[in-house]
Structure 1
Amino acid sequence: MSGTAALAAPPGSNARILKSKIEFALPALHTVIARVWSAPDLDRRYVDYLQTMHQMIRATVPLMAAGIARCEQLAGDPVADGVAAYLGKHIHEENGHDDWVRQDLELICPEAGELLAAMPSPAVAAAVGAQYYWLAHHHPVCLLGHIAVLEGYPGSPELPKLLAKRSGHPDRAFRTMHVHAVLDQRHRDELFDAIDALPLSARHHSMLGVSAMHTIGSLATVFEELADRRVAAHRIRTMATEGE
């Protein structure tokens, strides 16, 4: 790597560089998500969605705690110090969000406990597990690329209302989705401000980009599973009915 390539980007441009990468890949993810929300059996699809989101969100606080611990091991690294400062503030904002998802699920699914005890898919494990690996064995700044995908592009506050109407589930079962659509607008700004304040080199930018792209790809696989799970179940039911 040349000396020029290692120079930090000009102030204010770090987030722009990351966002340009994320926004190039997001349309493909949005296409897969749209398949889930446009399904005719949205009532059951939403149950599957909540099960999967709980599996991911319950890892948020432990993952950030691991990130803080790793940053402390790298004390004196200005990027790690900046990541620790951001995570130290943000971790409190995320506490208890998995309970929100659980409560949403319990409102509409008598088997909520059984669903939440199920083993997560490899796609869910890959989305979260890669971050543990990178922060432990490479650099904790990677975690900010992951968070940028999850919180940097809040959903529409109108989406929960539309899904409640289409699914037949009560509005209160969409609390987590609604609250995140509002909260993540502030979280997005705080995150990108924190990224802009970091003295990132080209190497750090590469880490952020790889982490973000991996998260988008993993989420696309997660939502493909949600879409195909319902399709497969419908086919099985149809075959069983035709065989009667």
Structure 2
Amino acid sequence: MSFHSELLAQTQQERSTLISVPIIQSALGGRIAREDYVAFLGQAYHHVRHTVPLLMACGARLPARLEWLRTAIGEYIEEEMGHQEWVLDDLAACGADRAEAAASLPSLATELMVSYAYDTIHRGNPVGFFGMVLVLEGTSVALATRAANTLQTSLDLPRNAFSYLLSHGDLDIEHVGFFEGLMDRLDDPADQQAVIHAARRFYVLYGDIFRTLRQDGVRWAEAA
């Protein structure tokens, strides 16, 4: 079995748990309010803006034996530059204040996920960061385009309110193939276990962002 296949098999339960989060299922069925979508975009901004800094940090910490992976990270960085601006564009198209969204604080769940990503890179094995890549890109491919198409109709929003979801649903299909090739080149058992461990954690952490978009029916725009 290739490592990528093993990675998917080892994280199947966590992936299924994430997808079953009620608000995700409601979104796929077009049963959420515009405020929910705006809350999702607000949190997306707060983790997407860290994607490039995290990639840079990961690349800087890789050992010389993984120079080929550092080169691949350079390609990821080129692809990911400026995506947080797409999220702000979508928020503006939904009627939200762009500057206010950019100046807002992340929720506790979002802050913890981002913090864990930096911690994985700086304290643990930096290769573990690719566990986060698996979770975010894999979830986008599985859900983003479908959710965007459903929500555009149910929320009566313009197409340009979904540039982040639509672009990532399509873009990440290409990324998943690229990612699979990278994972199958990882031959060190410690590196492999670092990715599996981190992926399991990131499925929980990313799921918590969705679980806490509402708290007892009240949306969390910020941590209390």
Q: Same fold (TM over 0.5)?
A: yes
Contact 1:36 1:223 in 2 (8 A): no
2:200 pairs with one of 213, 235, 243: 213
SS of corresponding position for 2:85: helix
Task: Out of 47-56 and 81-90, give the one that drifted further.
Answer: 81-90
2:83 pairs with one of 88, 94, 97: 97
Gaps of 5+ in 1: 1-11, 234-244
**When the two structures are superposed, what TM-score results if normalisation uses the length of structure 1?**
0.82
Deviation string for 1:60-97 (max 9, x for gaps)? 001001111112xx32xx2x324312212111011111
Paired with 1:147 and 1:228, the residues of 2 have a C-alpha distance of 27
2:42 equivalent in structure 1: 51
Paired with 2:11 and 2:137, the residues of 1 have a C-alpha distance of 12
2:210 pairs with one of 223, 240, 243: 223
SS of corresponding position for 1:158: helix
Contact 2:11 2:200 in 1 (8 A): yes
2:129 equivalent in structure 1: 143
1:177 equivalent in structure 2: 165
Question: Could you say if the C-alpha distance between residues 39 and 226 of structure 1 is closer, same or farther in structure 2, counting changes exceeding 3 Å?
Answer: farther
Paired with 2:45 and 2:19, the residues of 1 have a C-alpha distance of 20
SS of corresponding position for 1:197: coil
2:12 pairs with one of 15, 18, 23: 23
**When the two structures are superposed, what TM-score results if normalisation uses the length of structure 2?**
0.88
Quote how far apart the aligned CAs of 1:183 are: 0.7
Aligned length: 215
Quote how far apart the aligned CAs of 1:227 are: 3.5
Q: Is the counterpart of residue 163 in structure 1 residue 160 in structure 2?
A: no
1:9 equivalent in structure 2: none
Contact 1:152 1:187 in 2 (8 A): no
Paired with 2:88 and 2:55, the residues of 1 have a C-alpha distance of 20
Quote how far apart the aligned CAs of 1:161 are: 1.6
Quote how far apart the aligned CAs of 1:118 are: 1.4
Gaps of 5+ in 2: 220-224
Quote how far apart the aligned CAs of 1:174 are: 0.6
Quote how far apart the aligned CAs of 1:120 are: 0.9
SS of corresponding position for 1:157: helix
User: What percentage of residue pairs aligned between the two structures are identical?
Assistant: 25
SS of corresponding position for 2:187: coil
Structure ID, larger Rg: 1
Contact 1:127 1:214 in 2 (8 A): no
SS of corresponding position for 2:145: coil
Contact 1:127 1:219 in 2 (8 A): yes
